[in-house]
Structure formats: structure tokens, C-alpha cells
């Protein structure tokens, strides 16, 4: 007889994969072996099973383990459901419960961890082929910690997650992760809940989508991680170097309620540094790395100055200077030092935090009157006092520019500038130029001035009552202030009527206007209505439109469409003469930024009615030649049009607003320190509010969402594209060759047999319209592509935060656009006929996800004209026109379909004076052709007559 050996053991079975399903992680497992072959019997985790299998286990340990029982897990879920119902959490139950359950299970696991060694563990985990593996396991007592490192894989940035355990570092890929459980071999480690959430966030915001976008990689991914974790950047990101003269500061504080402390500090471009000198100070803020090169000479001068303020200071080498309150008040030492520092333009910080120095019993009193108006400025007489003591305006200005609100008075008390005072006078004092008891401020501040309980508005009286009444009338819905001239061949939508009136009101008040509506909302039509109204009032005026050269024809077309009676001059190109602008019989002149820069010496002598800057972010750099040039132009009214007046940082606003409202922000340095640094570096909420309040009357921005009720569900427009000279020259040369060849073919072979040659010729011309790079390499005499330039400009500037679909018939064109997107750091998805269906579905799904920041989808027209739901997009670009308008509509309707809650804007990109324009015109002339469903290009060609062919190649 064959003998058998049998044994049995009882263990706890961990099933980590169930964290993502029914959450029943633990079971009791009975293991028996017969002839060394294990047999497993699973039993539910219950009190009876624990008592049977682990009779000596302490009661509190059993209670901790029973938190994982099926019964307790069920009760936990019921409790979470009740809390969700009571809280009305604002998210779906699925999302709420997923987070709540994982948090509770993590808490249970942390409570269980100290007792894990008291029982034997097995675990059951999925294998590679879909089977499960059951084997011994254990829980480590060590706590894993997250660290991160950025490396480069070729040209792509890569984020590596590092797990630090007991001083050793391991890659995350060395572990299997089940939510907050990490498995290495057979050992489990429990992540902190914060670390688990971080890994989930990284999974949802895949860093690899920014692998070729260093700035976004830094700002979106690393900035978040660096608030809690160590991130080794490996010097892979360009550091912003700051080399400038520092602003000297002295921070006042107290220690031990007995001593006054003076700490020297230096402000470098918004960064505050203190302590012993080092050549560089490195810091990461909002994901950007900065290297600040310190100025040893300037810093040493401040040390020496402070050291000389009191005999005790020369012995103090702590990086700060201190003095007892008694010493500080002897012979008014503190008062004298305070005024001396202010006189030397050293900012004094922390005054309002001092506890020892009493506050003045007197409230601040201000007397102010408007003395005179000088060009775009107002001169005020201003007296500020506390009781009998009048304080110098220069002193008050220095205090509030340093962000302080307490002034040291002659009697040693602190005078406080309260919130109401700062609200009424703070902006005036900050922006003013002071001469003794007079202060000169930009008159534009009157438009945004608010009244407070402290007193009536100071500057408002310079705005006439009749104008203020119209301004208030404009702010009411349904109230019409001005009628659109009947000569305008369009009916303005309600929000467009408001925009037209708003510009006229600011023109009447002598201010400037920045119309910053979203792309597609009709900034051009509103502006044409404005110009037509002004020409109706003063027919002899000349108005100037300055735009990128690629948009000159668009403006010409729109004027012809909406105001055909207006006499228009295109002032651009080799044959232009300034004399036409000055004395020609024209009312509106259209020119480019480049032309203005070249001809500014002559143009600046011509008196103009209105100057319109389209795409005004072209002058965002105050030091650029074009910015200096447009500022020299003479006009009664100035308008800036831009969907994105602020593109990269707050400073972008400075030059544009200074063009519209000269002097509104004072010097560049003042604006940078007062607003740009505070907002961009420190996210200062108060500065943001102040800047918004000052600019609000002059900047009108409406988004698609805000005016959705006024818009049709779908708006289709032609985006006219003007080729560069080089691209047009290539087009004309190829067209001439094709025309000769095609008509020779027709003459010898007949029209019927020449259709293929016609089709090939048309194809080649359409490729050049897209980009000469689509031609064989030997035929590429230039690489200019107006469509690429225009599209990239829109994606980079006007549609940065919008979801966009880009369709082309040519996969090679999509590849070129993909290359350009990578170069310009624009994240995108891309598919064509070669993309596997499952990959398409995955990309579409990710594009549709709320919060997904990949906003551009490049799609082959044929591959993407059916079966896709892309309702996340609100903008569609058809890079090349399709013979069959029905196919174009199918492409547009990938986004304009059931489930779409946005208004859709579709743009057909058409090169002016090319076969593309002629195709459009043929479609219009042959309406039946446009409405028929023509399946292929050949269908279009078959319907063409010899006259049509002559027209297409003319």
C-alpha cells in the first residue's frame, strides 16, 4: 500500500486585486497538502473563523482584522451612501464612493499593519496569462516614500517615480501596485494615502503628454509635485536667470517681547532673499526654476549702512541686528532711522506687525482736490494727516508700494491706513507722480474708481454726467445707446450690439478699447460697425487697420461684405505710396505690422480718426520696434482686438494697455513690480483684483459660453489665406506648366481621356496651397506655408484653452502639422487611415475626458468623417476644401451632433487667388453639384466642362 502524508495550516489570504472590484480583500484560507500537492479551501473572514484558527490572538487584533469582513465592508458602503445623500457632494456617487471606500480601507490597513506579524499570510494575485497565483506573503514594517526624477529619453522628457525604503531607492516599475499597496516579490508595502493620491493623479495626468513641452511639463506636473516631494530635475530645464540691481529692504520684527530686530533683505525681480552672500540663489516657483545672481556690492552696502546705525550693531554677526525697545526709543532713534531708510529709498517692511509700538488714536484724514487736467493726466492737491501731524506724500507712497499700511509718526505711534482709505486712495497714490503736496495721476483711473463709505469718488468728476448716464444705460440689458448705421449690411447679435456701443462710448470719452472676445464671435463685424458709424459722423476722417499680413485680405473681404460703400486702401507691398494714405480718396486703410514699422516716419505725421490693431498681442513686448512704432501714430481713438491679450504672463498686458491708454501703468518697472511679479510669481489675489478693476472699463471679453444663447448652434466661415511671395511664385509657375500640359492633352486626346491629367494637376495645386513641402523634394523651391502659419497662430494664441479638430485630406499635411505642434509645444492627438480602430477609440475617449488638456486633434478627412463623437471640441478647421460639401459637413458634424452643448465654429482655410477659391465659386455657381453626394474626386472632375477647366487653371 502507498502511504500518504497529510498536514494542514490556516492563514489569512490577501487578494489585492479586489481593491478595484468588490473590496473584499481578506479571506481565511485553509491549506492542506497531500503528497506535497497543496489544496486550498477559502472561507469567509468571520469572527468564528478567526476564533477557530487563531484562538490566542488578542481581541483587539481580531477586531482590527474583522474590519475587512464582508459584513463590515457592506456596512461601510451603506454608511458612505448615507453620507453622500446628506452631503449632496456635487459629484457622482461613483466618484464619491470610490474615493471614500479607498480612504477607509487604507485606514483599516494602517491599523492592521502593526499586528500583521502575528498571523501567517498568503496572497492571491493575477498571473500573466489570466490565471491566479497563490503563495506565501508578508507585510513590511518599513514605510515607502515617494521621490521623483526627470530624465531624458532622446529628446523626450521622462518622469521617473522612485520609491525610497529604509534609505534605498527603487523604481516604481520594480513593484506591482494595487492602489495603495506595493508588492515586491512576496512583500507588501503600504503607501501613505497622500502618496497613493499622487500616483493616481499622475496616472490621470500622464506626464508623457508633455514630454516635448518643457514649460508645461514643469508648470503642470513638476510644480504640483514639488509642493510635497523632492524632485531631481537633473538640470534638464532651462533656468530663468535674474541679473539685476536689487531693491533694498529692511524687515522689522520683535523677539522675546523685548527687542526690535532689523533684518536686511533684497528683492530681485519679485524674489526676496536674505542671509549671508552667496553668488547665486536658486529657487523653483510655479514649476519654473530660477537662478538669481546676487549683487555683492549692493548687498554689502546695505549691511554697512545698517551696521552704522547704532554702536551695538557692529558686534552683531547673526544676519540681523537687534536693539532693546528702551534703546530703540532713546532720543527718538527709531523714528530717525525709519525716516532715514525711507529717504534712502529702502523699503521698510513689517511695521504693522510690531506689538510694542502703540497705534495712533487719530484716524487718517485726507483732503484732495483736482487742480488741473494735463493731456491724459490729472494734477491733484493732496494732504494726508493723523491729528495735527501731516505726513509727506512721498513717505505714504513708499509705505504702500512696499505693501505696508502703518506709518511711524513723530510721537512714536503708528498711523494706520485702513482698508477703506486704501480702497479710495491707494491706487491714486501708487500710480501717482509726486511733487511736494501735488500728485499727478493718469485720468484713466477715473473710469474704474469706486465710491466707499470713507467719502465720494475723487476722480469721477472729470467724467461728464451725460456720458456717465449713457455708460450706466449701456450696462443695463435691453437698453440701446447707439443705433448701428443702416449702411452696415448685417444684423448684429445682442452681444455684438453691446460691443459696438461700448467702443463708441469709450471713443466719446477719449479713452481706448481692447475688444477681447473669443475667436468666432465677430470682433471684425463689431469694429466695421464702429468705423461705419464714425464715418457717418465725420465722412472726411481716415481710419487705419493694422493686422498681420496674412489677415489683410480677410479685412478687405469683410469690409466689402458688410460695408461695401466704404472706400478701402490696402497699403502693403512694393507698390505702396504714403501719399495715398495721407491724401488719397480712401476712408479705411488696411496695412500690416511690418509695413507700419518700415514706414513709421511718414505714417506718424498723418492725423487719423481710429487706429485698429488686430491680433494686438503682436505689440506685447514694450521694447520691440513695432510697439514703439504704433505708439507714435496719431489718432483720436485706438482699438486693440485680441482673443488673448495676456498670453504668457501679466506683463503682456502692459504695452497693449499703454498703447490704448498712454501712461495708465506708469513705467515698465513700476508695472512689473506692482503687478506682474506679484501676480505671476506670488499669485497675489489683491493685485489681481486691483488690476482687473483698473482695466475692466477698457477690456471687453465675452466667451462662447457667456453668449451661447445669442449664437446659432453652428457657424461656418471662410478663413482666407494670402500666400507669401515665394509660395505664390511657386504656385503660379506650376499652374502655368499644368495648364499648358492639360490643354495640350485635351487638344490631342479629347476632354474625356484628359480627366486624369486634370485631376492630377488640380491635386498638385491644392498641395502647394497647403504646403510646398507636400511636393517631391526636387520641386520644393520654398517651404512657406500660409495655412500652417495661420493655423499655428490660432492654436498657440487664440485657441490655447479650446478643444480643436483639424481635418485634412492629405495625411502628409497632417504629419507636417504634427511636426509644427511638437516644435511649438502644442499637445495633440493624430490619426489617419493607418491608425488601428482600437487606438482611434482610445484617443477619442481621452480627448472627450473632462480635464484632459490635450486640446488639438489632427484627423484625416476620410478616416474621420463618420462614426466619431468629438463633442468636446468647439472649433473645427478644414485645412483643404473638399469637392463634396456633404463630406465637409460630415467632418464638421463630428463635433456638432447629439450631446454637443457648445456652439461650434467651423473654418474652411482657402488660399486667395488659387484653385481653392475657384472650387468654392464653382460650387456656388453649380448648386446642384454642391448638394449631390459625390463619392470621389473623379465624380467632381467628370462634371466639369472645358470652360470650367479653363476657369480652374486661369
Q: How far is CA 70 from CA 43, 302, 421, in A?
A: 11, 70, 64
Query: Which 8-state DSSP code applies to residue 777?
Result: G
**Hey, what's the cell of 66?**
474583522
The CA angle 756-758-762, to the nearest 5 degrees, is 115
CA–CA distance, 60 with 26 (Å, rounded to integer): 17
Query: How confident is the model at residue 344, as a pLDDT?
Result: 92
**Hey, what's the cell of 417?**
491706513
Query: How confident is the model at residue 488, as a pLDDT?
Result: 92
Sheet with 513-515, edge to edge strand ranges = 568-571, 588-592, 543-547, 607-614, 634-641, 513-515, 699-700
CA dihedral 529, 533, 534, 537 (to 10 degrees): 170
Residues 6+ apart with CB under 8 A from 791: 806, 817, 877, 879, 909
3-state secondary structure (DSSP) of residue 673: helix
642 and 516 Cβ atoms separated by less than 8 Å: yes
**Hey, what's the cell of 756?**
486624369
**Hey, what's the cell of 495?**
452681444
Residues of the chain with confidence (pLDDT) below 50: 1-6, 89, 898, 927-938
CA–CA distance, 929 with 498 (Å, rounded to integer): 40
User: Residues, the chain, total?
Assistant: 954
Residues 6+ apart with CB under 8 A from 162: 146, 147, 148, 149, 169, 170, 171, 172
3-state secondary structure (DSSP) of residue 882: coil
Give which of 461, 397, 445 is closest to 665, Cα–Cα. 445
CA–CA distance, 874 with 805 (Å, rounded to integer): 8
For the chain, the maximum distance between any two Cα atoms, rounded to a whole number of angstroms, is 123
Q: What is the 3-state secondary structure (H, E, C) of 820-862?
A: HHHHCCCCEEEECCCCCHHHHHHHHHHHHCCCCCCCEEEEECC
Stated as kind and residue range, the H or E segment containing 467 is helix 465-474
> Between helices 59-66 and 93-112, what is the axis angle to 10°?
160
Residues 6+ apart with CB under 8 A from 713: 896, 900, 903, 904
Strand bridging mode 231-232 / 145-153: parallel
- Using the structure block, give the residue that is written with the C-alpha cell 533684518: 263
- Using the structure block, give the residue that is written with the C-alpha cell 509645444: 825
CA–CA distance, 471 with 451 (Å, rounded to integer): 16
**Hey, what's the cell of 148?**
521623483
The phi-psi region of residue 423 (left if phi > 0; otherwise alpha if psi is between -120 and 50; otherwise beta) is alpha
**Hey, what's the cell of 881?**
476644401
941 and 761 Cβ atoms separated by less than 8 Å: no
160 and 142 Cβ atoms separated by less than 8 Å: no
Give the number of C-alpha atoms closer than 13 A to the C-alpha of residue 241, restricted to the C-beta side. Answer: 4
Rg over CA atoms, the chain: 36
Query: What sign does the CA torsion over 857, 862, 867, 873 have?
Result: positive
The torsion angles phi and psi of 579, rounded to 5 degrees, stand at -60, -35
- Global pTM value: 0.65
CA dihedral 341, 346, 347, 352 (to 10 degrees): -10
Strands of 82-153 (E only): list them.
121-126, 132-139, 145-153
Q: How far is CA 276 from CA 241, 315, 372, in A?
A: 20, 16, 50
370 and 439 Cβ atoms separated by less than 8 Å: no
160 and 111 Cβ atoms separated by less than 8 Å: no
The phi-psi region of residue 20 (left if phi > 0; otherwise alpha if psi is between -120 and 50; otherwise beta) is alpha
The CA angle 594-819-829, to the nearest 5 degrees, is 120
Residues 6+ apart with CB under 8 A from 868: 840, 844, 859, 894
Amino acid at each position: 500500500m502507498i502511504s500518504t502524508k497529510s498536514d494542514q495550516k490556516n492563514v489569512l489570504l490577501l487578494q489585492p486585486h479586489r481593491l478595484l472590484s468588490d473590496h473584499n480583500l481578506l479571506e481565511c484560507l485553509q491549506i492542506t497538502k497531500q503528497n506535497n500537492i497543496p489544496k486550498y479551501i477559502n472561507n469567509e473572514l468571520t469572527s468564528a473563523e478567526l476564533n477557530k484558527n487563531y484562538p490566542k490572538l488578542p481581541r483587539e487584533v481580531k477586531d482590527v482584522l474583522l474590519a475587512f469582513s464582508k459584513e463590515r465592508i457592506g456596512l461601510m458602503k451603506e454608511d458612505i451612501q448615507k453620507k453622500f445623500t446628506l452631503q449632496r457632494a456635487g459629484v457622482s456617487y461613483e466618484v464619491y464612493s470610490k474615493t471614500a471606500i479607498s480612504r477607509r480601507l487604507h485606514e483599516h490597513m494602517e491599523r492592521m499593519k502593526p499586528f500583521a506579524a502575528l498571523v501567517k499570510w498568503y496572497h492571491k494575485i493575477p498571473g500573466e496569462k489570466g490565471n491566479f497565483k497563490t503563495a506565501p506573503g508578508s507585510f513590511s514594517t518599513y514605510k515607502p516614500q515617494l521621490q521623483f526624477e526627470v530624465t531624458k529619453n532622446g529628446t523626450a522628457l521622462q518622469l521617473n517615480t522612485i520609491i525610497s525604503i529604509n534609505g534605498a531607492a527603487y523604481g516604481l516599475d520594480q513593484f506591482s501596485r494595487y492602489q495603495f499597496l506595493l508588492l515586491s516579490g512576496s512583500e507588501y508595502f503600504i503607501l501613505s494615502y497622500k502618496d497613493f493620491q499622487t500616483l493616481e493623479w499622475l496616472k490621470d495626468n500622464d506626464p508623457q503628454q508633455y514630454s516635448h513641452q518643457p514649460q508645461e511639463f514643469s508648470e503642470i506636473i513638476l510644480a504640483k509635485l514639488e509642493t510635497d516631494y523632492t524632485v531631481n530635475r537633473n538640470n534638464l530645464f532651462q533656468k530663468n536667470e535674474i541679473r539685476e540691481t536689487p531693491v533694498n529692504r529692511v524687515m522689522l520684527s520683535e523677539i522675546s517681547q523685548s527687542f526690535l530686530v532689523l533684518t536686511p533683505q533684497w528683492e530681485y525681480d519679485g524674489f526676496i532673499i536674505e542671509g549671508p552672500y552667496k553668488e547665486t540663489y536658486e529657487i523653483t516657483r510655479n514649476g519654473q526654476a530660477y537662478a538669481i545672481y546676487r549683487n555683492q556690492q549692493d548687498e554689502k552696502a546695505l549691511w554697512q549702512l545698517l551696521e552704522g546705525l547704532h554702536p551695538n550693531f557692529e558686534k552683531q554677526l547673526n544676519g540681523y541686528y537687534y536693539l532693546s525697545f528702551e534703546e530703540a526709543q532713546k532720543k527718538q532713534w527709531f523714528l530717525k532711522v525709519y525716516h532715514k531708510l525711507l529717504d534712502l529709498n529702502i523699503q521698510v517692511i513689517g511695521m504693522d506687525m510690531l506689538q510694542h509700538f502703540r497705534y495712533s488714536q487719530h484716524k487718517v484724514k485726507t483732503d484732495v482736490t483736482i487742480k488741473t487736467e494735463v493731456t491724459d493726466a490729472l494734477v491733484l492737491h493732496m494732504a494726508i494727516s493723523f491729528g495735527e501731524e501731516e505726513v509727506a506724500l512721498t513717505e505714504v507712497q513708499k509705505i504702500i508700494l512696499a505693501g505696508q499700511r502703518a506709518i511711524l509718526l513723530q510721537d512714536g505711534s503708528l498711523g494706520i491706513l485702513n482698508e477703506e482709505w486704501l480702497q479710495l486712495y491707494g491706487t491714486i497714490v501708487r500710480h501717482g507722480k509726486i511733487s511736494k503736496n501735488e500728485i499727478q495721476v493718469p485720468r484713466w483711473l477715473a473710469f474704474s474708481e469706486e465710491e466707499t463709505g470713507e467719502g465720494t469718488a475723487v476722480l469721477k468728476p472729470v467724467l461728464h454726467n451725460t456720458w456717465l448716464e449713457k455708460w450706466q444705460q449701456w450696462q443695463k440689458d435691453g437698453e440701446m445707446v447707439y443705433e448701428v448705421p443702416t449702411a452696415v449690411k448685417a444684423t448684429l447679435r445682442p452681444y455684438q450690439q453691446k460691443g459696438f456701443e461700448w467702443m463708441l462710448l469709450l471713443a466719446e470719452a477719449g479713452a481706448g478699447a481692447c475688444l477681447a472676445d473669443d475667436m468666432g464671435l465677430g470682433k471684425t463685424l463689431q469694429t466695421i460697425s464702429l468705423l461705419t458709424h464714425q464715418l457717418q459722423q465725420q465722412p472726411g476722417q481716415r481710419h487705419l487697420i493694422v493686422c498681420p499680413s496674412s489677415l489683410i485680405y480677410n479685412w478687405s473681404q469683410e469690409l466689402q461684405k458688410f460695408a461695401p460703400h466704404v472706400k478701402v486702401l490696402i497699403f502693403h507691398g512694393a507698390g505702396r505710396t504714403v501719399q495715398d494714405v495721407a491724401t488719397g480718396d480712401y476712408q479705411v486703410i488696411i496695412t500690416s505690422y511690418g509695413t507700419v514699422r518700415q514706414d513709421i516716419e511718414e505714417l506718424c505725421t498723418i492725423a487719423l480718426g481710429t487706429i485698429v490693431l488686430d491680433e494686438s498681442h503682436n505689440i506685447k513686448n514694450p521694447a520691440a520696434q513695432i510697439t514703439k512704432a504704433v505708439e507714435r501714430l496719431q489718432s483720436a481713438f485706438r482699438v486693440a482686438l485680441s482673443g488673448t491679450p495676456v498670453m504668457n504672463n501679466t506683463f503682456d498686458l502692459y504695452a497693449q494697455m499703454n498703447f490704448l491708454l498712454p501712461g495708465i501703468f506708469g513705467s515698465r518697472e513700476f508695472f512689473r513690480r506692482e503687478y506682474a511679479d506679484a501676480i505671476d510669481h506670488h499669485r497675489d489675489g489683491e493685485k489681481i483684483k486691483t488690476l482687473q478693476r483698473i482695466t475692466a472699463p477698457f477690456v471687453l471679453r465675452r466667451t462662447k459660453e457667456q453668449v451661447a444663447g445669442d449664437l446659432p448652434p453652428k457657424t461656418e466661415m471662410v478663413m482666407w489665406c494670402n500666400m507669401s511671395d515665394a509660395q505664390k511664385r511657386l504656385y503660379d509657375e506650376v499652374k502655368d506648366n499644368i495648364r499648358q500640359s492639360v490643354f495640350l492633352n485635351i487638344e490631342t486626346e479629347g476632354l474625356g481621356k484628359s480627366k486624369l491629367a486634370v485631376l492630377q494637376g488640380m491635386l498638385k495645386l491644392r498641395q502647394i496651397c497647403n504646403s510646398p513641402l507636400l511636393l517631391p523634394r526636387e520641386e520644393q523651391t520654398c517651404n512657406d506655408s500660409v495655412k500652417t502659419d495661420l493655423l499655428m497662430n490660432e492654436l498657440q494664441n487664440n485657441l490655447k484653452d479650446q478643444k480643436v479638430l483639424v481635418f485634412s485630406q492629405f495625411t502628409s499635411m497632417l504629419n507636417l502639422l504634427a511636426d509644427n505642434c511638437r516644435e511649438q509645444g502644442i499637445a495633440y492627438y493624430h490619426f489617419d487611415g493607418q491608425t488601428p480602430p482600437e487606438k482611434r477609440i482610445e484617443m477619442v475617449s481621452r480627448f472627450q475626458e473632462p480635464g484632459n488638456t490635450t486640446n488639438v486633434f489632427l484627423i484625416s478627412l476620410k478616416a474621420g468623417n463618420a462614426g466619431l463623437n468629438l463633442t468636446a471640441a468647439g472649433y473645427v478647421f478644414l485645412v483643404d476644401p473638399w469637392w463634396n460639401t456633404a463630406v465637409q459637413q460630415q467632418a464638421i458634424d463630428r463635433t456638432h451632433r447629439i450631446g454637443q452643448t457648445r456652439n461650434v465654429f467651423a473654418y474652411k482655410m482657402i488660399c486667395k487667388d488659387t484653385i481653392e477659391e475657384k472650387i468654392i465659386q464653382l460650387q456656388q455657381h453649380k448648386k446642384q453639384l454642391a448638394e449631390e453626394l459625390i463619392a470621389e474626386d473623379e465624380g467632381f472632375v467628370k462634371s466639369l466642362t472645358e470652360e470650367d477647366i479653363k476657369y480652374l487653371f486661369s
